[in-house]
């Protein structure tokens, strides 16, 4: 079994926040792939489904971002899930809006949700970093991540979340490079080359 976790904060107050892009991505995975309805479990909300023939549990921790690892650790222990089968989607300040990077292991890089996961689950899990951009000043980071996406952001946010959901089966199969390439191509299609004119 694989565990796919979206990070965010619970409740309507935070629903549209940049910090909640992980929740948004997991919601779209569950919707597009016909997972079971969400149910309260493991200090969070879970839904079950299949991706690429593999059983998957989707989880949104309801512990608030800084304690995300409590919920994830509980689910991992219950199902005896190896950290290599844990995929975590979350907001990344150091990537331009709409960009995506895959990373296996490493530190928390200042992200409190990831810091909590490392404390409870160890560092060796797959991270799907979803770019939200940096406000340019360290003092503005907290208001930036805890404010809602602007209406204009939907032009890149909706396609990003859709592409992540569409191609998530590749990531479950361990094809990180293919997943990243397919998402990139979905967001930045290569224009068709004009056909060469034939000679008369």
- Concatenating the DSSP letter of every residue in 151-190 gives GGGHHHHHHHHHHHHHHHHHHHTT-HHHHHHHHHHHHSPP
Q: Is 19 a catalytic residue?
A: yes
Higher per-residue confidence, 154 vs 194: 154
Confidence of residue 196 (pLDDT cuts 50, 70, 90): low
Q: Which of 2, 19, 33, 167 is catalytic?
A: 19
pLDDT tens, residue by residue, 99-140: 999 988 888 887 889 999 999 999 999 999 999 999 888 889
CATH superfamily of 2-187: Peptidyl-tRNA hydrolase (3.40.50.1470)
pLDDT of residue 126: 94
């Amino acid at each position: 079994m694989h565990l796919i976790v979206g990070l965010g904060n619970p409740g309507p107050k935070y629903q549209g926040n940049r910090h909640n892009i992980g929740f948004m991505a997991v919601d779209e995975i569950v919707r597009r792939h016909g997972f079971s309805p969400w149910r309260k479990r493991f200090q969070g909300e879970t839904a079950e489904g299949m991706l690429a023939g593999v059983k998957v549990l989707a989880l949104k921790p309801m512990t608030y971002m800084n304690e995300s690892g409590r919920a994830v650790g509980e689910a991992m222990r219950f199902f005896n899930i190896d950290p290599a089968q844990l995929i975590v989607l979350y907001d990344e300040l150091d990537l331009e809006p709409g960009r995506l990077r895959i990373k296996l292991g490493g530190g928390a890089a200042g992200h409190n949700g990831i810091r909590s996961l490392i404390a409870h689950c160890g560092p060796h899990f797959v991270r799907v970093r979803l770019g939200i951009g940096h406000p340019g000043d360290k003092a503005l980071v907290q208001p930036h991540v805890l404010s809602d996406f602007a209406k204009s952001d939907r032009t890149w946010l909706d396609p990003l979340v859709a592409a992540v959901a569409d191609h998530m089966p590749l990531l479950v199969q361990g094809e990180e490079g293919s997943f990243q390439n397919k998402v990139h191509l979905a967001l930045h299609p290569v224009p068709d080359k004009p056909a060469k004119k034939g000679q008369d």
